[in-house]
A and B are shown apart, each in its own frame.
Chain A
Amino acid sequence: MSIFGYQFMQNAILAAFLGGVACATVGVFVVLMGISFIGVCLSHAAFAGALLGVLLGFNPLLGAFLFSLGTAAIIGPLASRGELNLDTSIGVLFSLMLGLAFIFMGLMSGPKTEMLGLLWGSILTVTRTDLILLGIVTSAVVALVVLFYKEIQAVIFNREIALAVGIPASLILYGILFLTGSTITVSLSPIGGLLIFSLIINPAAAAYQLTYSLKKMFLLSAIFGVVSGWIGLLASYLFNVPSGAAIIVTSSLIFGLAALFSPKRKVKRWRVRDEPSRVL
């Protein structure tokens, strides 16, 4: 098929694979820990950092990295010191980052359209640097999840219990947030701030509908993430629609199908039949 003949298409297919795996893996933490807002928060932090880079004349990507990772590093300690929910901590930092982004934009002279591109991203104009960074972070995410699987599992299940059995739970939590921050930053320019959110949430949420095994959830989520990217790209090529939007819609459809056919909805009937003595 001629779709594979273009260099930009090859790059986009590779970016969709790497970004799909990284975002969908991180998404499993995000969905199970109930911190879906973190995607929006960190992508806006990266956005603010990139704007500051442009404003002060250093590499916007560096600014994005610093801000997104800095924010990811603050979320955990802010929540534990201030005795807040993680989600509250994320919300506070999100509003700060949004405010900073607008201040930096206000201070800038000249056109700002290039910056708004970061919010939308463009998978069809992925650069070599984007791909290398994406490759590094995706490998790191997968390697760390494999290496610290049992600690991550315990922390996702219950942080207090993880602490009580002698697991360095805070460190693992901060590590999870840090990985989320890195993934969002490197996905920002190829995938876009808004698309990241759906690529983090939808594949993991779809996998969550289908399995009771955490390992399978990681695997299914990654598959859904990659498939969303590829089908979205194909649809974008065939029907000449924006690629980012096509990927978002595909991942939402996959979620919809998973929710529709979720075996977890049959839980109640199964329990009643299985253990009639417990029904009061």
Chain B
Amino acid sequence: MRNHRETNNTIVKIENAIVSYREDVALRDVSLEVKRGEFLGIIGPNGAGKTTLITLINGLGKLVQGHVWVLGHGISKGSVNGIRKRVGYVAQLQNIDPRMPISVHEVVMVGRYGQLGLFRRPNKSDRDIVDRMLELVGMSHLAKRPIGHLSGGEQQRVAIARALAQEPEMLLLDEPTASLDWRAQRELLELIKEIHEAQNLTTIFVTHDLNALPQICDRVVLMKEGKIWQQGIPEQMLKQDILSQLYDAPISIQEHEGRQIFLKAG
């Protein structure tokens, strides 16, 4: 469907965005372009505006000034639902009531609901898509379980399956590995990488935790105090002095089995 020629196309364009909540300015004059097929990492300390920036892309965040184009459309009241159907969104682990009467399969099916629109019920092809996505994230065996019975890592896999069930062109991941244990975190990052490559997606990954940043990032955006402070390829950005300035704390980098491990020094 999406051929290789398109990989240079701009899929997201944010121009001079200002967002403010009450008295706080969350984003100060931020501009960003994302190319189709790119894997973009956004890092920075808490409160830097990372989440605000990606919620602008699916219209959950409210713009005070500036412009946002996604998939060729300006974000407006009329276009936002259409855009949301084409953008998968995974937030950090939520507290789900363990008694919530919704099964894993039904949760993933929610991803189809936007596409289906009002008054239409899921048919066999929707169920097939859901089965396929559950298979992809390795959760088929838990399909009939109540969602609240799953562990955090399993719930995040289901959330990814739900986002993929939308058959999206873009995946927004907001701290998807936060509050997962190290093994679940590693496995989830591996899965995200596989999916990005296999599904030819554009992926934007937000994290405050440098060690949760996937290694396949094409570009890293460093955010601080509501602004894009620096951006570039990971090799240039993920350096001791830059990161120490970004987090206002001395950070040291160590190599371990081919991976960079970021530690707070001192």
Contacts and interface: CB of A to CB of B under 8 A. Distances in A.
B110 A212 contact: no
A162 B113 CA distance: 9
Interface string A128-157: 000000000000000000011011011011
A165 B166 contact: yes
A13 B143 CA distance: 42
A166 B121 CA distance: 15
Contact of B110 (A165, A216, A267): A165
Interface in A216-250: 216-217
Contacts of A84: none
Interface string B116-157: 101101100000000000000000000000110101000000
B113 A211 contact: no
A278 interface: yes
A211 B101 contact: yes
Contacts of A147: 119
A214 B102 contact: yes
Interface residues of A, number: 30
Nearest to B154: A278
A165 B60 contact: no
B106 A153 contact: yes
| A150, A151, A162, A208 pick with most chain B CB within 10 angstroms | A150
Interface stretch (B41-49, B78-86, B187-195): B78-86
A156 B91 CA distance: 17
Given A32-B100, A157-B100, A166 B110 contact: no
Interface string B87-107: 101010010001111110011
B174 to A, nearest CB: 10
Given A148-B118, A161-B162, A166 B101 contact: no
Contact of A168 (B60, B81, B98, B99): B81
B121 A163 contact: no
Contacts of B232: none
B151 A217 contact: no
A150 B113 contact: yes
Contacts of A148: 118
A109 interface: no
Contacts of A32: 100-101
B105 to A, nearest CB: 11
Contacts, number: 80
B102 A153 contact: yes
Contacts of B118: 148, 151
A264 interface: yes
A2 interface: no
Contact of B146 (A150, A168, A212, A278): A212
Given A158-B94, A212-B101, A163 B60 contact: yes
A217 B103 CA distance: 13
A271 B98 CA distance: 12
B84 A163 contact: yes
Given A147-B119, A154-B113, A212 B103 contact: yes
A150 B89 contact: no
A65 B107 CA distance: 36
Nearest to B80: A166
| B58, B113, B116, B119 pick with most chain A CB within 10 angstroms | B113
A183 to B, nearest CB: 21
Contacts of B82: 166
A113 interface: no
Contacts of B162: 161, 165
A41 B91 CA distance: 33
B56 to A, nearest CB: 13
B20 interface: no
B101 A165 contact: no
Interface in B59-86: 60, 81-85
| B91, B94, B99, B149 pick with most chain A CB within 10 angstroms | B99
A150 B85 CA distance: 15
Given A32-B100, A151-B113, A153-B110, 10 more contacts: A150-B109, A151-B118, A163-B84, A164-B60, A166-B81, A166-B83, A166-B114, A168-B81, A208-B99, A208-B101
